[in-house]
Amino acid sequence: MELMNRDCSMLPRDFASTSESVFKQDPRLISAINKLYGRNEKDDSNSEIVLPERKLNFEEVQKMLNKSSKDTEKAPSTYLQERSNIRKELIKNIEKILEKLNSSAENGDTPILLLRNQRLWSNCVYDLNRVTLKAFADAKKTTLSYSNREDKTRFNAVVFVLTKVHELLLKNLSVTRRELFYQNVTRLRNQANLDIAVRDVCCLLQTPPWNLGIMATAKGLIAGHIQLQLRDGSYVDCFGAGGTLIPQDVNGIKVFRSTAKYILVVEKDAIFQKLLDEGALGKGYPDVCTRQLLCRLVNELRLKALALVDADPHGYEIFLTYKYGSLAQSHLSQSLACSSLQLLGARHGDVMTLAEKEARLKLTALDKKKIVSLLKRPYLDTAVGFNIKKDLEEMLASGVKAEIEALSPTAAALCDFYLPSKIMQGKYLG
């Protein structure tokens, strides 16, 4: 924290009274950003394949080799053929599942569905720098029985999603989760039941929801010098006032064009708007579309990604979800977990150094429970996770947290002092 402390010790406590922009043209900042950009290009070109401490199967080896090779844009005919093959295979698998359920009922047996239990961290492994599900044979399972009253709602929801997906694939159509919910409100009862059913179906078919024609409702925004070319040939420019809503069909983005040197993922909309006012980049809450887009931007533009969140348990959890993936979406971690993401701020050390005592908040009982839960996550027992774990332990021991606004109460303080100092310091977490 030496550079951070030295820079910030010279700053006035009343940031609002300082209207002059100190760091905007600072050569050290320009150099730090260029170094951040250049280092990522260098790291990407010379990167080694990360191997897990276990034996890989043939399919995993093939995926890793393909990922390490130079990406080439596929011809439209090749892409369409691949999509067609995937659809045909999924249709066949769905028909097998439904046929098995029908046969059980016709033979007088109770129809059942066997699923991996995705409520247990013990069913996940930290593998290839992300959280992923154990193999079906090794995982603890949940049996959904049609005759069981407690299982019936979930069982019916899974069958409903399977039949709807079968129809979507046959007609080559897509639908949002919300639209799907309103097609059978009586049976589904609430959106959460549908979301669980979609997750269950994805696990059964071992495929992401976008391959099933089910699109998540986008919540995140993107802003900056970046242009997206969509599958239909249209373009989306993201350098507009207030930011641009992330497309629902992230998989349908064909080309990214950008002059950006790094990506900044921002937790809060209020902070995002402050950054926009100063001409800076991006925002996103960890919904599926935002996480999927972040992974594609990092991989295809070869940019470094930094996170800006509150220095509280919730902020750290958001960062960890982007970086390692979540329990609920562990079956999609290959497309959603951005393992190279690093935390720019706000870190617990920043709170103790920069935030006024009056601006620091006491951890609640729920906050402490959240930290204890985070500390148990398997990916923190790694070389990279060690320092993240240390931050959380220090937060728990101190009993305090703070929002970003406590460190930088104005847009000028955030954009001209805090962020440049952190970037010049260059000591990112993760």
For 68-106, letters b (16+ CB in 10 Å) and e give eeeeeeeeeeeeeeeeeeebeebeebbeebeeebeeeee
Query: To which residue do tokens 């639908």 refer?
Result: 175
- Residue of 33, 40, 47, 29 whose CA lies nearest to 304: 40
Helix (H) / strand (E) containing 370: helix 365-375
Question: Could you tell me what percentage of the chain is helix, strand and coil, using 3-state DSSP and rounding each to the nearest 5?
Answer: 55, 15, 30
Q: Which two tokens stand for residue 238?
A: 């993201």
The Cα 240–Cα 371 span in angstroms is 38
| CA distances (Å), origin 392, targets 35, 69, 278, 319, 374 | 29, 37, 31, 12, 8
Asked about 146 being catalytic, the answer comes back as no
Q: Name every residue whose Cβ is closer than 8 Å to that of residue 155 and which is 6 or more positions away in sequence.
A: 111, 113, 144, 145, 146
DSSP string, 140-199: -EEEEETT-HHHHHHHHHHHHHHHHHHHHHHHT--EEHHHHHHTSHHHH-SHHHHHHHHH
For 119-156, letters b (16+ CB in 10 Å) and e give eeeebbbbbbbbbbbbeeeebeebebebeeeebebbbb
CB burial class (10 A; 0-12, 13-18, 19+) of residue 49?
Answer: exposed
Handedness of CA 341, 347, 349, 350 (dihedral sign): positive
The Cα 291–Cα 323 span in angstroms is 9
Helix (H) / strand (E) containing 256: strand 253-258
* From 37, 126, 182, 285, active-site residue: 182
Catalytic residues: 182
